[in-house]
Chain A
Amino acid sequence: MFKAIIESEKLKETIEAVSSIVDEAKLNLTPDGLTIRAVDPANVAMVSLTIKSNAFEEFTATDGELGVDLNRLSDIMGMAEKAETVELELDEESHKLVIRMSGLTYKIALLDPASIRKEPKIPQLELPASITLSGNDMKRAVKAAEKVSDHITMGVDGETFYLEAEGDSDRMRLDMLKDQLIGIKSGDAHSLFSLDYLSDMVKSAGKANEVTLELGKDFPVKINFQIAGGSGEVNYLLAPRIESD
């Protein structure tokens, strides 16, 4: 069984964090909250998300799985006002998700969890460098890079976090010194990433107060931040591109 009440904003944040990677996802329910783990069809980007039950105003669930069409859900959540609470309930008989908000009731069809792409194995990575910065700064850096290129290099040089983008004719470089960051752990880090993917991830991460990046040399980047007022956590993993000489 599953029944929960949550502020609409928190639910929207949760959906957005996952829908930037996949269109359909499996929600794993436990009495303590819910988790989602998904990888995009090209195996390039991964999301793993946890929302604890205390993010909800009310939360009752037994262990189970729900297959959800995220675009559908996000479309319906567009009807909810910012401050309003939304009630979610699994109708076991029809196997539909009932969504209630200020007088409105939706019943949406769930997907067969077996039809959704298998949950990925998570690479176990020990990444040498780590940077913590404001979500807003992260968003600005990515936006700056999009103006000149499709790719961005992220790296650490001493106690400076740098981002570089190189287009056919134009270049961008952004240096963030220690005092502009919330924290930095130096290490050998320099990797190239596709902005297609990173821009989608930053839509969610950009709203967080703190975003932690873990980087290595030609290794995936881990992007970690909190959502739902600190009761939820998002971890992205994005594979690097091969640097052309």
Chain B
Amino acid sequence: MTSLCVSCKGKGHCGRPACPILEKFKPLGTTKKLSDNIFGSSPPSVFVGRYGYPHVSAGPLVPPDVVGKEAGTFDDPGSWNGLGIGDIVRLRSSLVRSNMHFNVKDAATPDSMLQKTQELALSQTPVDTEVWFYKAPRMDLRFDGILSPMGPAGEVTKLDIAQNPVVPRQVDRMVGDCDVAAADAVKEMYSADISTDHINRLLSIGLLGKKRKIVPTRWSITATDDMVGKMLAEDIRYYPESSEIQVYSGELHGNHFEIMVIPGPLAFELIEIWMPRAVWSGGTTHVEADWEDHNGKKGYSNLGGGYYAARLPVLEHLHDLRRQATVFTIREITPDYWAPLGVWVVREAARYALSLPPLKFDSIDAALTDMSIRLNTRTDEWYHKSSLLDRRLNQRTLLDFL
């Protein structure tokens, strides 16, 4: 196992036909026999694959025989905090993925199958759905670094939506307006309290923007995290600076977060520490870091989607408090994170940490000492990777010379 696995997370960079790390999780799924016709409420959820782009497979995810409110939990990571990793994998593995084939440009002129999928994606609440397959979907549990695990899949012959979708007014407006750029539509909807999951679903199935395209789910998740984050940062830059050094700490599914909020201009750094025997790391510790100062981020992060997923809750937090701050974040991934659950874990773990009461400190050093007590990895293994702390502690300001 090499550091390649940590950065690739199952994308196939090693050249093997199947990821050996992901393969070993396959037996975890449920083995319920399925027929070639299923009925259930889609949470709602749609999936768009990235293989063969621009010819992609896409379709709704449906839990057989689960209807109504209960179905909603299948695609709502925010409600999974009480579950174990095994429970989540089982929950996800019972979602059946229906595959249809489209060109990404079909989004603008959808046939009836795509139209129905789009209609389902509009809904805020579960939608009763019936799907007929060529043959009964076979168990095929899929894992990925960004995506939540997914269960069996089948090729669709017919798709029916047996219920009217519940469409929030703001969603209806943005989807109906082909003159609004995708980024502006995202902004509008987010401001109207539409969840990022819902926004991501609309973006993915090609319902937003001027030139509409279907977007593979893996890309749309990070695009949504990034767009919403950038939009929050625009506001935060004008807020007054926070007044004290605070440390937030919390852990979810083996993703341990230490978040230090320091008075200063908006800046964010994420240090990712993969402990030995965490899902991608093999036998050694891997430390990677990325950051942005008040000028924001240019280009794609070397930490991939996890960077944007961790940044979003931090920006949401600052936005809620109407304060700007320099935020130093450590995500330590412990062996408790034994199966990859998708990038939502990063988002939810950071959100969870930020929901707990913070500790206050007089100095950055005192805060770092406190953080190090809860981390398994020694400070000297990650400290030198931090550009933010280096700038903060070693760069003098002009105020020192007034």
Q: A residues near B, CB below 8 A?
A: 23, 39-46, 115, 120-121, 123, 125, 194, 219-220, 237, 239-242, 244
- Known contacts being A123-B402, A194-B391, is A42 close to B396, with CB within 8 Å? no
Whether B401 and A239, one on each chain, are in contact in the complex, defined by CB atoms closer than 8 angstroms, is yes
- Main DSSP-derived SS at the A contact region: loop
Whether B395 and A123, one on each chain, are in contact in the complex, defined by CB atoms closer than 8 angstroms, is no
Whether B395 and A194, one on each chain, are in contact in the complex, defined by CB atoms closer than 8 angstroms, is yes
Distance to closest chain B CB from A83 (angstroms): 32
Distance to closest chain A CB from B146 (angstroms): 31
Whether A219 and B402, one on each chain, are in contact in the complex, defined by CB atoms closer than 8 angstroms, is no
Whether B402 and A121, one on each chain, are in contact in the complex, defined by CB atoms closer than 8 angstroms, is yes
User: Is B119 an interface residue when CB atoms closer than 8 A count as contact?
Assistant: no
A40, A41, A194, A242 — most chain B CB neighbours (10 Å): A41
Q: Within B292-322, which residues are at the interface with A (CB < 8 Å)?
A: 293-295
Taking CB atoms, residues of chain B closer than 8 Å to A219 are 401
- Across the interface, name the chain B residue whose C-beta is closest to A46: B398
Other 5 A-B pairs with CB < 8 A, given A123-B398, A239-B396: A42-B264, A44-B397, A219-B401, A239-B395, A239-B401
A102 to B211: give the CA distance in the assembly, Å: 32
Taking CB atoms, residues of chain B closer than 8 Å to A115 are 238
A166 to B238: give the CA distance in the assembly, Å: 36
Whether B238 and A41, one on each chain, are in contact in the complex, defined by CB atoms closer than 8 angstroms, is no
A120 to B400: give the CA distance in the assembly, Å: 13
B238, B264, B401 — most chain A CB neighbours (10 Å): B401
User: Is B399 an interface residue when CB atoms closer than 8 A count as contact?
Assistant: yes
Taking CB atoms, residues of chain A closer than 8 Å to B396 are 44, 239-242
Contact with A along B378-402 (1 / 0, CB 8 A): 0000000000000101111111111
B394, B396, B397, B400 — most chain A CB neighbours (10 Å): B396
What are 16 A-B pairs at a CB distance below 8 A? Answer: A41-B237, A41-B266, A41-B294, A44-B395, A44-B396, A44-B397, A46-B398, A115-B238, A123-B401, A219-B401, A239-B397, A239-B398, A239-B400, A240-B396, A241-B394, A242-B396
A242 to B397: give the CA distance in the assembly, Å: 10
Taking CB atoms, residues of chain A closer than 8 Å to B238 are 115
Contact with A along B319-342 (1 / 0, CB 8 A): 000000000000000000000000
Whether A244 and B394, one on each chain, are in contact in the complex, defined by CB atoms closer than 8 angstroms, is yes
Whether A220 and B265, one on each chain, are in contact in the complex, defined by CB atoms closer than 8 angstroms, is no
Whether B398 and A220, one on each chain, are in contact in the complex, defined by CB atoms closer than 8 angstroms, is yes
Whether B399 and A43, one on each chain, are in contact in the complex, defined by CB atoms closer than 8 angstroms, is yes
Distance to closest chain A CB from B123 (angstroms): 38
Q: B residues near A, CB below 8 A?
A: 237-238, 264-266, 293-295, 391, 393-402
Whether A42 and B395, one on each chain, are in contact in the complex, defined by CB atoms closer than 8 angstroms, is yes
A39 to B394: give the CA distance in the assembly, Å: 19
Distance to closest chain A CB from B263 (angstroms): 12
Whether A242 and B398, one on each chain, are in contact in the complex, defined by CB atoms closer than 8 angstroms, is no
Number of A-B contacts (CB under 8 A): 51
- Main DSSP-derived SS at the B contact region: loop
Taking CB atoms, residues of chain A closer than 8 Å to B393 are 242
A42 to B401: give the CA distance in the assembly, Å: 14
Whether B394 and A242, one on each chain, are in contact in the complex, defined by CB atoms closer than 8 angstroms, is yes
Distance to closest chain A CB from B28 (angstroms): 43
- Across the interface, name the chain B residue whose C-beta is closest to A244: B394
Whether B395 and A241, one on each chain, are in contact in the complex, defined by CB atoms closer than 8 angstroms, is yes
Which of A23, A43, A194 is close to B398, meaning CB atoms less than 8 Å apart? A43
- Across the interface, name the chain A residue whose C-beta is closest to B402: A123
Which of B293, B295, B391, B397 is close to A43, meaning CB atoms less than 8 Å apart? B397
Taking CB atoms, residues of chain A closer than 8 Å to B265 are 41-42
- Across the interface, name the chain A residue whose C-beta is closest to B265: A41
Whether A125 and B294, one on each chain, are in contact in the complex, defined by CB atoms closer than 8 angstroms, is no
Taking CB atoms, residues of chain A closer than 8 Å to B295 are 23
- Known contacts being A115-B238, A194-B391, is A44 close to B401, with CB within 8 Å? no
Whether A44 and B398, one on each chain, are in contact in the complex, defined by CB atoms closer than 8 angstroms, is yes
Distance to closest chain A CB from B328 (angstroms): 15
- Across the interface, name the chain B residue whose C-beta is closest to A121: B402
- Across the interface, name the chain B residue whose C-beta is closest to A125: B401
Taking CB atoms, residues of chain B closer than 8 Å to A40 are 294
A220 to B399: give the CA distance in the assembly, Å: 11
Taking CB atoms, residues of chain B closer than 8 Å to A244 are 394
Distance to closest chain A CB from B318 (angstroms): 14
- Across the interface, name the chain B residue whose C-beta is closest to A220: B401
A242 to B265: give the CA distance in the assembly, Å: 20
- Across the interface, name the chain A residue whose C-beta is closest to B401: A123
Whether A42 and B402, one on each chain, are in contact in the complex, defined by CB atoms closer than 8 angstroms, is no
A45 to B391: give the CA distance in the assembly, Å: 13
- Across the interface, name the chain A residue whose C-beta is closest to B395: A241
Whether B398 and A39, one on each chain, are in contact in the complex, defined by CB atoms closer than 8 angstroms, is yes
Taking CB atoms, residues of chain B closer than 8 Å to A237 are 398
A115 to B396: give the CA distance in the assembly, Å: 26
- Known contacts being A123-B402, A239-B400, is A42 close to B293, with CB within 8 Å? yes
Taking CB atoms, residues of chain B closer than 8 Å to A46 are 398
Distance to closest chain A CB from B251 (angstroms): 32
A8 to B270: give the CA distance in the assembly, Å: 42
Distance to closest chain B CB from A201 (angstroms): 14
A219 to B400: give the CA distance in the assembly, Å: 10
A78 to B56: give the CA distance in the assembly, Å: 39
- Across the interface, name the chain A residue whose C-beta is closest to B397: A43
Taking CB atoms, residues of chain A closer than 8 Å to B266 are 41
Taking CB atoms, residues of chain B closer than 8 Å to A39 are 398
Distance to closest chain A CB from B400 (angstroms): 7
Distance to closest chain B CB from A128 (angstroms): 14
Distance to closest chain A CB from B129 (angstroms): 46
Distance to closest chain B CB from A119 (angstroms): 13
A239 to B265: give the CA distance in the assembly, Å: 16
- Across the interface, name the chain B residue whose C-beta is closest to A193: B395
Taking CB atoms, residues of chain A closer than 8 Å to B394 are 241-242, 244
Taking CB atoms, residues of chain A closer than 8 Å to B400 are 239
A128 to B177: give the CA distance in the assembly, Å: 64
A44 to B395: give the CA distance in the assembly, Å: 8
- Across the interface, name the chain A residue whose C-beta is closest to B387: A150
